[in-house]
Amino acid sequence: MRIRQFGDPTLRRPAEPVTEIDAEVRAICATMVEAMLRANGAGLAAPQIGISKRIIVLDVEGQFHVLINPELVLVEGETEELSEGCLSLPGVSAPVTRGSRATIAGTTLDGERIEITGEGLLARAIQHEMDHLNGHLFIDHLTPARRKSAVQEYKRKQKHEEA
């Protein structure tokens, strides 16, 4: 399954909650993990593969998680402005300000309710993937001028790849 790119309407819709962890949800999760690993990503949300469900996968600094119906519990710490990219806007990065520590709660594929607190890259990945579940992209955190520049850069790269 391919990762949906900027402009795909699924990326802009808030994702629906998962009502049951069944074979279909497990298959979606397996597909997401495969797509994330194939793209060398740190995380992936179900809308990025065209499925409007509240599911994320994370693979950051030796921590691997699959979370169903995750909720952002807390973002705290110093804010950091770091370069951020996205598998749905390949080849584009821009400085995004996020909290340096984030806590997320969700359900594992085994039905266990867990809470994860991350700092640094994991905190950033948590916030980034939660944005996807709410229909937002990292470029939404940019100033209008930076957002326009990032979109233009994406379009240029896409045009170049098609040529």
Q: Which residues contact 99 (CB under 8 A, 6 or more apart)?
A: 75, 76, 77, 78, 79, 80, 123, 127
Q: What would the mean pLDDT of 108-128 be, rounded to a whole number?
A: 96
Question: What is d(CA 100, CA 122) in angstroms, rounded to the nearest whole number?
Answer: 9
Question: What is d(CA 74, CA 19) in angstroms, rounded to the nearest whole number?
Answer: 24
Q: What would the mean pLDDT of 121-135 be, rounded to a whole number?
A: 97
**Domain 9-78+97-135 CATH assignment equals 3.90.45.10:** yes
Is it the case that residue 158 has pLDDT exceeding 90?
Answer: no
Collapse the DSSP code of 103 into the 3-class scheme (helix H, G, I; strand E, B; otherwise coil) and give the result: strand
Residue for token pair 């749905």: 88
Is it the case that residue 163 has pLDDT exceeding 70?
Answer: no
Among residues 16, 129, 153, 161, the one annotated as catalytic is 129
162 is catalytic: no
Note the pLDDT tens digit of each residue in 70-106. 999 999 999 999 999 999 999 999 999 999 999 999 9
Residue for token pair 């340096």: 100
Query: What is the strand order of the sheet 63-85 is part of?
Result: 43-45, 55-60, 63-85, 93-107, 113-119
pTM for the model stands at 0.95
Tell me the torsion sign for CA atoms 124, 128, 133, 136: positive
